[in-house]
C-alpha cells in the first residue's frame, strides 16, 4: 500500500514538476521578501529538493530544507497578491513540497 501511495504521489509530483518547469516566474516576486522570506530563494530551494526527489530519496539535509521551505511557503502564501499568477505559482510549489516530503517519509518506512 505504501508503494502504491508513493507511486501515485510520484506521478502527481512529476506532473506538477512539468507544469512548474513550463511556468514563468512571477516577475513582481523578484527581489521581494514576504515575512522575511526571499521569494526567489524559496522557489529555488523547493525546486531543487523536488528535482532531487524525482531522482531518488532525499538525504536528511535536503529533507530538512524541504520541510523548512514548506513551513515558509505556508506562512507567506496568504500574503501573496495574485498579480501575474503568483498565487497559483506558489500554491503549486507548496503542493510539490508537500508531496516530495510525503514521498520521502513513505520511502523511509
Question: Contact, 83 vs 10, CB < 8 A?
Answer: no
User: pLDDT under 70 in the chain at which residues?
Assistant: 1-5, 104-109
In this prediction, residue 1 carries a pLDDT of 31
For the full predicted model, state whether its pTM sits above 0.85: yes
Q: Are the C-beta atoms of residues 10 and 54 closer than 8 Å to each other? A: yes
pLDDT score, position 84: 85
Per-residue pLDDT at 109: 40
Amino acid at each position: 500500500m505504501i508503494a502504491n501511495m508513493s507511486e501515485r504521489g510520484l506521478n502527481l509530483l512529476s506532473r506538477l514538476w512539468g507544469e512548474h518547469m513550463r511556468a514563468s516566474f512571477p516577475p513582481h516576486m523578484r527581489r521581494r521578501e514576504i515575512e522575511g522570506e526571499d521569494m526567489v530563494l524559496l522557489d529555488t530551494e523547493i525546486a531543487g529538493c523536488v528535482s532531487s526527489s524525482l531522482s531518488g530519496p532525499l538525504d536528511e539535509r535536503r529533507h530538512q530544507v524541504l520541510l523548512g521551505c514548506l513551513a515558509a511557503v505556508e506562512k507567506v502564501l496568504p500574503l501573496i497578491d495574485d498579480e501575474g499568477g503568483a498565487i497559483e505559482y506558489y500554491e503549486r510549489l507548496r503542493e510539490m513540497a508537500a508531496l516530495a516530503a510525503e514521498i520521502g517519509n513513505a520511502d523511509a518506512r
